Amino acid sequence: MQPSYRDQNTTLAAYFRKIRDFPRLTREDEVTLATHVREGCQSCRNELVQSNLSFVVKVASEYRNLGTPFEDLLNEGNLGLIEAAQRFDATKGTKFITYAIWWIRKSILRALSERSTLVRVPSYQMKKVREIRHAEKALSRELGRKPGRDEISKRLDRDVSKVDQVLQFNLREVSLEQKVGRQQDQTISDFLPDERSPNAEDDLVQRQDTSMMMQALNELSDQEKSVIHYRFGLSGEPARTLKQVGEIMSISRERVRQVEVKAKLRLRKIFDEWRAVRSPNKAPVVFSSPGARSNREH
């Protein structure tokens, strides 16, 4: 028997509360633990992993609408985090989470690529999904409540069965504002690290000198360029939150997040290519593949 939707949310909330209680490590703590991990200390590995589990939630949330249950994304991301803890070399001078983010994403993306539902949704079906969601939001504003399938169907002049058929492609989407817990009084975003907490792409953007960054930004679309400017304060202004950028650009907070993720990944690729040209025989420590993947235990 499959767990109910409410049971799944309660389980997620309990998990989020548990990992939030794990203390953050100092840089010195990371170095000490990593040294012991390389000597075979399993408890040290566990401590290093546990202190960074909340970052897996943050990364997994970026892939939450691709047809895979959020719990599965978390499990895959945690496996990547464990592998990173086992491979991390503190003597390289890189922060652990900056190194681990590569392994977390790699693990999640591999799982997504193996899911039959990931790239099976035709573009024309996704267009229909967006049309239905747009109609649903418009009706919600007009009615002051969530509209029923029959009301959406009437607005679009389509059969209810057709609307349900299209929406099956989007049923697994998990929102950061989804209510979780027995009391349904908290959201997934309540358990995420602060949105300005550093990750690999944030570190990348902040490390580049101004001339290189401006040159790289010219490779992005106008919308991507604006989002990066606002989010990182590249024009000399304070860095802004997703909500603030959305209000400035008249787009949703979620759309800002999607554009930012895409832009940072493109910037990472651009800087990787530049580094490869300048140092063809030296692989970057953080952003290139750290090596062949070890076998996992199943």
Averaged pLDDT of the chain: 72
DSSP secondary structure string, 74-106? Answer: HHHHHHHHHHHHHH--GGG---HHHHHHHHHHH
Q: Which comes out higher in pLDDT, residue 6 or 163?
A: 163
Tell me what pLDDT residue 137 has.
82
pLDDT tens for 11-35 read: 778 888 888 888 888 889 999 999 9
Dist. CA 125–CA 128, nearest whole Å? 5
Top mean-pLDDT range of 1-10, 45-54, 143-152 = 45-54
Tell me what pLDDT residue 140 has.
82
Residues 5, 8, 12, 14, CA torsion sign: positive
Mean pLDDT of 60-65: 76
Closest CA to 264 of 210, 206, 211, 212: 206
**Tell me, what amino acid is at 249?**
M
Is 277 a residue whose pLDDT tops 70? no
Tell me what pLDDT residue 47 has.
93
Containing 24, the helix (H) or strand (E) segment is none
Q: Which residues pair with 179 in a beta bridge?
A: 187
Dist. CA 246–CA 95, nearest whole Å? 31
Mean pLDDT of 44-67: 85
Provide the whole-model pTM: 0.43
Mean pLDDT of 224-241: 80
Q: Any residues with CB less than 8 A from the CB of 31 and at least 6 apart, and which?
A: 90
Mean pLDDT of 92-116: 79
Angle between helices 5-20 and 70-87 (to 10 degrees): 30
- pLDDT over 90, % of the chain: 10
pLDDT tens for 185-226 read: 545 444 444 444 444 445 444 444 455 677 778 888 888 888
Dist. CA 81–CA 58, nearest whole Å? 13
Q: Which residues pair with 187 in a beta bridge?
A: 179
Tell me what pLDDT residue 280 has.
42
Is 252 a residue whose pLDDT tops 50? yes
Radius of gyration for the alpha carbons in the chain, expressed in angstroms and rounded: 21
Dist. CA 162–CA 9, nearest whole Å? 29
Q: Where are the beta strands (DSSP E) in the chain?
A: 179-180, 186-187
